[in-house]
Structure 1
Amino acid sequence: MDNASRISRGDKSRNARLGRLRELVPITSAVVGIDLADAKQMVVVCDHDSRVLARRTFRVRAWDLGAALDWAAAKAAKAGFAAVTVACEPTGHRWRVLGQLAAERGMAFVCVQPLISAWARRGEDLTSDKTDEKDAVVIARLAAQLRCYAPEPVDETWGRLRHLGARRERLMMELTGQVQAMRDLLECVWPAALEAAAQPFKSRTWAATMSIILERDGGDFTRTRRLGLTRLENLVRKEVMRWGAEKPTLRITRNLFAALDDNAGVLAHRPGALERVAFVLDDFFHARRRKVEVEERMTLVLEELGVTELVTSIPGLSAVGAAAILAETGDPHRFTSARALVKHADLAPRERSSGAFTGRTRVTGQGRPSLRLAAWRGIWGTLRGNPVHAARYHHLTTREQNKLKPTQAQAAVAAALLRQLHAVIVTGRPWDAEIATYGTRRRPLEVAA
């Protein structure tokens, strides 16, 4: 048989996906397109040729749309349809409410990506014209064409992990901003303080010593000099416990005490700038505590799901790192394959070829950016503690043909991490170095003794 006439694996996956969507949007059902807003909801009932059968504006909140769905079902039945499929864009959390209302009435529910509807809106009349009435029709038309997707099923435990992950990400953004603010201020008025430790903002001794100095003196270090190094060290021993360490690294405290005599920096701005650093350092302390609390809750959710031992079997991946990734993916069982999960993160390079032309393959940036970031953070531990990932990274960056840049190789390793995380959870088997290296179809040759 000619290979060109065979159905590829991609064709089979696409056909299966279209089959699942056709079950949600059958020909016998009308399509109800809803353009969600705060207090105004545009609802249209369309057939599969996007002909509008009924249209109505409901000036209610999203959680009061039950009457609108009942109205749409009655209009569809009058037009001869057996049921309806509800379609909308995933706007805020309103679509969750609409999905729940549809489920209570036994109605199928699908979502349309806002980016796809934006492109389709321009294709309507080649203009940027946008109204709620047109958007609702566009949403219904895209759903009828199966250019939609089935949203993630609602699950209490996985949903809690998602919210905790969003909270952790917010705290990490706050911590990053606070570190940058303190670094900028200290570089201006007291750069010697930044040289007291190799990584000052990761050192709890540095933070504890700085909090004591800034609380006592502000921009005038006279009181701390008069206090003396020995008494300062005693105060740091107590303060460092508040920051979560059992004992301080007194070398850093001594370096900061010696830096009190360093006059480098804009001295006129030092009092006000260091006062501001004290405020930011206090915010940094509380944000770190809240982040630790959220991470503890995330690891407890992993235990509730029964996947802690599976995900931590991957060398170099911590429970917190795995929880951060799973908070963005949701239940991996909802993905038909590990590659589908990688494509969801847009870590699978897209091919660019036409005829004899072959372009460079690269990621498009259209996937879930927060999942990409979580996977990217996860590989920093696996590149150090996972020999398979380290070997893959070394091979990709040193091979003679098609050698990758470090960032490209890191993206490839991040994609491998997502595939392996999907495999251990879906199969229920711990991580296996041999399978991770050679796969399930290829085995290394036995070497005779």
Structure 2
Amino acid sequence: MKFKAQDKQNQLIENITSSHLVIGVDIAQESHVARAVSFRGIALGTPLEFTNNDEGFRLFSRWIQDLLKSYKLSKVIVGMEPTGHYWLCLARWLTNKGIEAVLVNPHLVKKNKENRDNTPSKSDRKDALVIADMIKNGYYSPVRFNPETYEELRILMANRDTVTKRLNSAVNQIHRWVDIVFPELRQVFKILTCTSAIATLRLFPLPKDISRLTTEQVIAGWKQYVQRHAGLWRAEQLIALAKRSVGATKALHAYKLHLGQLLEEYDLATRQLELIEHELKLVLERIPYAQKMLAILGLNATSLAGVLGEAGDLSGYTHGNALLRHAGLNLAEASSGKWRGKMVLSKRGRPRLRRFLYLMTMCMVMTNPDVRALHHYNVQVKKLKKMKSIMKLCGKVARMLVGLAKSNEVYNSTKVFLPVA
């Protein structure tokens, strides 16, 4: 079955009938502005400003009922921009009240802001009217809150990104500290975050501390943290290098305090990351088709959790191409007359979903023989550039994920990644 975006667009337009009251809401942190139009785009009533709390939402509800009664309309559709996280409370409240809530693309709102008055002016009331116009023209998408399992994955993966950034920052600062205070440590340990190197930084970080120790004392210190320590030769080398170190010799107390805080941040981020990884595996076990996907060579729990957290239940997608559009991996072209522009990725979608689909594909290219064979076929036989082949395989992976989720079948490489002769 071919997936056609135009069919979806037609359905969205046909959804707006003559009995609809179309409302656009400009979202802010504390107060929102609402404007209403008919299905033809005629402005109805007066603008309303209401607060982002229960009292404001009740006022908004009474305003809607007054407009429905005044203009003899029977249906309501409310649209808004997904501005940060400020729209979530209103969207949930509308959904609980049985009112259809939809979202519009902020990029399109900016593009369409001159349609009404042919000026680049911007205000909350004007933005609300532009949003209402876009809804009646079918430029919206329904608000769909994911089931709790997928919502947990999204929150955990967002938290994982934050913790990973903190961990990387701590590691980078530890590298900087070593380069300034004890640069010779790199000659002993190639990886400064290995267990023995971290133990050295905890116990005797300064070269002058190490130079006064014996090899037995260094090894005894390592044994506090690791059973299989770095060895006698490394201990001797460490002491010898410490005695002729060219590192900093002033403000050592401040440097030592700084390192202690960096190691605390490193330990905290490491523990949090391990806890998140454990929780992700427990959540994935509650998704019926997730374990069958994890059995695929090259598909790991982190990437799958990232895709499911951003995309939601894959069995609800009509086609894998819908997942690609959601990620912004669909193709876009700019052409006019005889001129034909390059085909590029639209990048109108969720960047985190786009990242995890790409990382998942790259991992499968490196470790899955079926995907690697298809990549070589694209590059050597079809003469595609390597990155174009990867993007093409992203589409294959997306269609595979949606197909497996909808059918709940076991992965069969001959159905998915068999090259065409």
TM over 0.5: yes
Q: How far is the alpha carbon of 1:47 from its aligned partner?
A: 0.5
Tell me which amino acid in the other structure corresponds to 2:224.
K
3-state secondary structure, aligned to 1:19:
helix
Which of 41, 48, 52 is the matching residue for 1:57?
48
- Partner of residue 243, structure 1: none
- Separation (CA, whole Å) in 2 of partners of 1:144 and 1:36: 19
Q: How far is the alpha carbon of 1:156 from its aligned partner?
A: 1.8
Query: Structure 1 265/180 Cα, relative in aligned 2: closer, same or farther at 3 Å?
Result: same
Q: How far is the alpha carbon of 1:161 from its aligned partner?
A: 1.4
Which of 291, 309, 323 is the matching residue for 1:327?
309
What is the CA deviation profile of residues 2-52 of structure 1, one whole-angstrom value per residue up to 9, with x for unaligned ones? xxxxxx945x442144315643x3332111111122232212221022222
Tell me which amino acid in the other structure corresponds to 1:43.
A
- Separation (CA, whole Å) in 1 of partners of 2:34 and 2:308: 35
- Separation (CA, whole Å) in 1 of partners of 2:147 and 2:352: 20
Query: Structure 1 75/425 Cα, relative in aligned 2: closer, same or farther at 3 Å?
Result: same
- Partner of residue 196, structure 1: 188
Query: Structure 1 273/414 Cα, relative in aligned 2: closer, same or farther at 3 Å?
Result: farther
Match status 1:155 vs 2:150: no
Q: How far is the alpha carbon of 1:110 from its aligned partner?
A: 0.7
Q: How far is the alpha carbon of 1:333 from its aligned partner?
A: 2.8
How many percent identity over aligned positions?
21
Query: Structure 1 391/366 Cα, relative in aligned 2: closer, same or farther at 3 Å?
Result: same
What is the CA deviation profile of residues 93-120 of structure 1, one whole-angstrom value per residue up to 9, with x for unaligned ones? 3322222222233221111111111111
- Partner of residue 424, structure 1: 404
Q: Equivalent residues in 2 for 1:338-417 (5 A)?
A: 338-399=320-381, 401-404=383-386, 407-417=387-397
Q: How far is the alpha carbon of 1:236 from its aligned partner?
A: 2.3
- Partner of residue 212, structure 1: 203
Query: Structure 1 152/257 Cα, relative in aligned 2: closer, same or farther at 3 Å?
Result: farther
- Separation (CA, whole Å) in 2 of partners of 1:252 and 1:318: 38
- Partner of residue 19, structure 2: 28
Tell me which amino acid in the other structure corresponds to 1:416.
K
Conserved 8 A contact 1:339-1:419:
yes
Conserved 8 A contact 1:316-1:382:
yes
- Partner of residue 75, structure 1: 67
Query: Structure 1 253/420 Cα, relative in aligned 2: closer, same or farther at 3 Å?
Result: farther
Query: Structure 1 150/158 Cα, relative in aligned 2: closer, same or farther at 3 Å?
Result: same
Q: Equivalent residues in 2 for 1:81-160 (5 A)?
A: 81-160=73-152
- Separation (CA, whole Å) in 2 of partners of 1:428 and 1:252: 56
Q: Equivalent residues in 2 for 1:225-244 (5 A)?
A: 225-240=211-226
Q: CA RMSD in A?
A: 2.9
- Separation (CA, whole Å) in 1 of partners of 2:75 and 2:68: 7
Which of 152, 160, 170 is the matching residue for 1:178?
170
Query: Structure 1 98/352 Cα, relative in aligned 2: closer, same or farther at 3 Å?
Result: same
3-state secondary structure, aligned to 1:351:
strand
Conserved 8 A contact 2:17-2:39:
no
Query: Structure 1 124/282 Cα, relative in aligned 2: closer, same or farther at 3 Å?
Result: same
Q: How far is the alpha carbon of 1:355 from its aligned partner?
A: 4.0
- Separation (CA, whole Å) in 2 of partners of 1:417 and 1:271: 54
3-state secondary structure, aligned to 2:225:
helix
3-state secondary structure, aligned to 2:370:
helix
Tell me which amino acid in the other structure corresponds to 1:420.
M
Structure 2: tracts of 5 or more residues without a match: none
Which of 212, 222, 228 is the matching residue for 2:208?
222
Which of 233, 242, 250 is the matching residue for 1:260?
242
What is the CA deviation profile of residues 254-292 of structure 1, one whole-angstrom value per residue up to 9, with x for unaligned ones? 465554345245555766445423322220111011011
- Partner of residue 40, structure 1: 31
- Separation (CA, whole Å) in 2 of partners of 1:251 and 1:393: 47
* TM-score under structure 1 length normalisation: 0.83
Tell me which amino acid in the other structure corresponds to 1:58.
E
Conserved 8 A contact 1:310-1:425:
no
Conserved 8 A contact 2:21-2:68:
yes
Conserved 8 A contact 1:197-1:252:
no
- Partner of residue 299, structure 1: 281
- Separation (CA, whole Å) in 2 of partners of 1:196 and 1:18: 66
Q: Which stretch of structure 1 is more off in the superposition, 394-403 or 82-91?
A: 394-403
- Separation (CA, whole Å) in 2 of partners of 1:26 and 1:431: 44
Query: Structure 1 364/15 Cα, relative in aligned 2: closer, same or farther at 3 Å?
Result: closer
Tell me which amino acid in the other structure corresponds to 2:225.
E
Q: How far is the alpha carbon of 1:315 from its aligned partner?
A: 0.5
- Separation (CA, whole Å) in 2 of partners of 1:364 and 1:191: 46
- Separation (CA, whole Å) in 2 of partners of 1:371 and 1:251: 48
3-state secondary structure, aligned to 1:350:
strand
- Separation (CA, whole Å) in 2 of partners of 1:16 and 1:252: 69
- Separation (CA, whole Å) in 2 of partners of 1:237 and 1:182: 22
3-state secondary structure, aligned to 1:435:
helix
